[in-house]
Structure 1
């Protein structure tokens, strides 16, 4: 093998390695784009490939329970009826978690509409707009879809560790932040596994 041929082979090998490393690095960004598009389209089959629903459900349950606990702590010195309301809200954690651990819920989370822990809250439904025209509640009035924000949220995304990728959402300087957390599931596969409502 001539020196020129060897140098071409080495160059090609280096290029392949650099391209592979670039793809591995970009893989969570690609996964985020794919799951967001699938969730917006309510493509449940594709969403299932990118979301660990049992882990997401457990995370949502913990986060929403923590929200309600903080509310009870804040309202202890206030109106006793507010405490009763918070306790009723705690009983509704299960249905709220179930409504957000769906393609509709994933679409809401990835579009800047996280759960707030309000009794009867549900994410915008498919077909209600982009992501939803959430003003249409069922006739019973028991549940209410979240009103989407007027402006899309500011997002930042990046690695928290080698196997954890975090997307943080915030609507404005004074608004609360929250994060969607992805974990590596193989070399280039990622899954949404948790939400951190505290940013």
Structure 2
């Protein structure tokens, strides 16, 4: 093998290794983009590839229960009915979690609309074919609805080699929350948890 041929082979090997490392590094960003696109169009089959629903359901259950506990702790000092409210709230955790552990719920989470732990809360309706939401298409009596919030500020990055976190915040004073992805293989990632505390 001539010196030129060896140099070409070494260069090609280096380029392949750099490209492979770049792809491994970019893999959670690619997974996030594919999951968001699939969730936005409610492509359940693709969403299922990128979400570990049992883990997400468990995370949501824990996070919503913590939200309710904090609310009750705040209300206890001035409201003797807070204990009854806590029991009612605890009974509502299951349905709320079930509604968010769906493609509609994943779309809401990835679009800056996390669960707030409110009774009867559901993710927003998917957009209609013309781009309006189902609720916006229906006539509404009373005052005009408020203008929709702008999309949240989003930051994304590795927390560790196997954990990738996307953090959402609408504004400086608004609460933050995070969507947490875990590596599942070398370049495959799944949404496994939500941290409603940022």
Considering the TM-score relative to the shorter chain, is it more than 0.5?
A: yes
Label 1:148 to 1:45 Cα distance change in 2 as closer, same or farther (>3 A). farther
1:163 and 2:156 are equivalent in the alignment = no
Instruction: Note the C-alpha offset of 1:190.
Output: 0.1
User: Is the 1:61–1:94 Cα contact (8 Å) retained in structure 2?
Assistant: yes
Gaps of 5+ in 1: 138-146
Instruction: Note the C-alpha offset of 1:72.
Output: 0.9
Instruction: Note the C-alpha offset of 1:150.
Output: 1.5
User: Is the 1:133–1:148 Cα contact (8 Å) retained in structure 2?
Assistant: no
Q: Secondary structure at the match of 1:165?
A: strand
User: Is the 2:63–2:196 Cα contact (8 Å) retained in structure 1?
Assistant: yes
Match of 1:125 in 2: 125
User: Is the 1:113–1:148 Cα contact (8 Å) retained in structure 2?
Assistant: no
What is the number of residues matched between the two proteins?
190
Q: How does 1:109-120 map to 2 (within 5 A)?
A: 109-120=109-120
Provide TM-score, normalisation by structure 1: 0.90
Q: How does 1:146-161 map to 2 (within 5 A)?
A: 149-161=148-160
Match of 1:5 in 2: 5
Q: Deviations for 1:40-64, whole angstroms, at most 9, x for unmatched residues?
A: 0000000000000000000000000
Which aligned segments of 4 or more residues in structure 1 are displaced greater than 4 angstroms? 128-137
Provide TM-score, normalisation by structure 2: 0.90
Gaps of 5+ in 2: 139-145
RMSD (Å) for aligned C-alpha atoms: 2.0
Label 1:57 to 1:148 Cα distance change in 2 as closer, same or farther (>3 A). farther
